[in-house]
Structure 1
């Protein structure tokens, strides 16, 4: 089962569990590469501390032009994927077309050398050579909140990185596997994105129908994904939300008033009804929580 990527005591070492995905969630071709990368990554990290000699060599590969969405929201249960593109530059003797060459983008929370958490894709990136020493690559980050990959404190800014692994004909499962013949490259600080908790917002205007000039009460609730319980729960009191109105027959909403959430994300306010139209609440979001707007609730004014 995929679980939160607990970082080992050695700098940059990643627990093997960060790559272990159930067959029901990932292509079979993806499971092997994650285990291979984890093994080589851990050996490379330990060698950096001088704790072992049997480690991969530093491969002449660098990464640039890392592009990812400015933000993406993750719900309480459902898998979420976001696409990453980047440029890979390599020495002429690095065979990126080899079957056992792998490159992959990933995200990390905290410092690059000792991250608090990391997110990878189910499959390696695909690359197309643009010259003898450069290639354009495209991969995905796959997130499974129901598998414990995230805790609520992980919401916010994450940084982008990419790595490359060349087995050079070595079989990771063979008894004579020689990791010193394996090439490895890893580079952080390539970009950034916000990993946000998905939000939900409801609205209900009553009574309806209503006589013109009479007061209607509009209630709602603002909740967000809790990655630790895999449910939605109310945000802390005092979140700023705007009540908007769209007159029937028009397409644009206009602001009516701003209000604050109370306990459990509850919302309640009143307005006088003048014409038929739709009322909704809208929330601009914060660093940890994605913006959201409720579907409009129609009020028939008679």
Structure 2
């Protein structure tokens, strides 16, 4: 789920357990119990990272959480994610949590966030429109007294209430944090942030969020006499997350390929560019029965795609 403000940045909090998931952590509603308090801890730690000494509790500075003995590694997430214009896409992720023996990861108020972000880590922009979280808790399994393997999702919503903009297509980086509230978030109590442990790390992995593309092809006339001219048209479009539709992808190189009937290999005949509206049009000579297709290699922001082949009957 996309969170657009620092104070709400934990709505996708991922909970951790040891050998089993405690009831409070297994229920997604448990996240709401701690979100506001975790957001305060996270904001305080990020504020420190942006200028003050992190985890300081000096009298002349704002209260800071103490540095939690926890670290993150082996973060795995899809290298590319293709996003259309509607629905929800859940992107699985996993990582290893290593922690000190004194850290009780089975506590109901020990929470883990895993998320992806754009731009620099621990900045004001990172904490606003440039973070994507999971909707539910992760499930984690202890592999030793000081390590656990965690799994979760990044949930991305598209459509009229899209949580991602066209301008945000491209490279995103992965991060994770752990918060030990240590009972400080008890109902009706004041949060003593100095008694809360916090650990966070960015740059754990990268993923490409790409605008999904579509490609068509049509070879005419059909049938055609050998040696005559064939006109091959098509169109390259891509998801417009802002307008919730597909629009033409302008001035992109696209390969025209041909596969002779009875064979399995396509050969590139030529490369042409789309028009300002994404249209494609070129001509070739008819040589034999076979299949034409257009092939787009993709870009950082847009997924690759092959058009469904169109058969041409040569007499």
Q: List gaps (5 residues or longer) in structure 1.
A: 7-13, 22-26
Query: What are the Cα deviations for residues 203-250 of structure 1, in whole angstroms up to 9, with x where unaligned?
Result: 11122222232222111111111121121111232x110011222333
Worse-superposed segment, 62-71 or 173-182: 173-182
Give 1:16's match in structure 2, choosing from 8, 24, 38. Answer: 8
Output aligned runs, 1:175-254, within 5 Å.
175-237=189-251, 239-254=252-267
Could you say which residue in structure 2 is the equivalent of 1:277? 290
Query: What are the Cα deviations for residues 28-57 of structure 1, in whole angstroms up to 9, with x where unaligned?
Result: 447626555434322333455559634433
Give 2:301's match in structure 1, choosing from 273, 288, 291. Answer: 288
Could you say which residue in structure 1 is the equivalent of 2:142? 129
Could you say which residue in structure 2 is the equivalent of 1:144? 157
Q: List gaps (5 residues or longer) in structure 2.
A: 14-26, 53-59
Could you say which residue in structure 2 is the equivalent of 1:5? 4
Check conservation: 1:225, 1:231, Cα contact below 8 A.
yes
Could you say which residue in structure 1 is the equivalent of 2:111? 102
Could you say which residue in structure 2 is the equivalent of 1:89? 98
Check conservation: 2:219, 2:230, Cα contact below 8 A.
yes
Indicate how the Cα distance of structure 1 residues 260 and 204 shifts in structure 2: closer, same or farther if over 3 A, else same.
Answer: same
| Structure-2 separation of matches of 1:88 and 1:28 | 21
| Structure-2 separation of matches of 1:17 and 1:163 | 12
Could you say which residue in structure 2 is the equivalent of 1:299? 312
Q: State the Cα distance separating 1:275 from its structure 2 match.
A: 2.2
Correspondence 1:61 to 2:70: yes
| Secondary structure at 2:262 match in 1 | coil
TM-score by length of 1: 0.85
TM-score by length of 2: 0.82
| Structure-1 separation of matches of 2:101 and 2:71 | 13
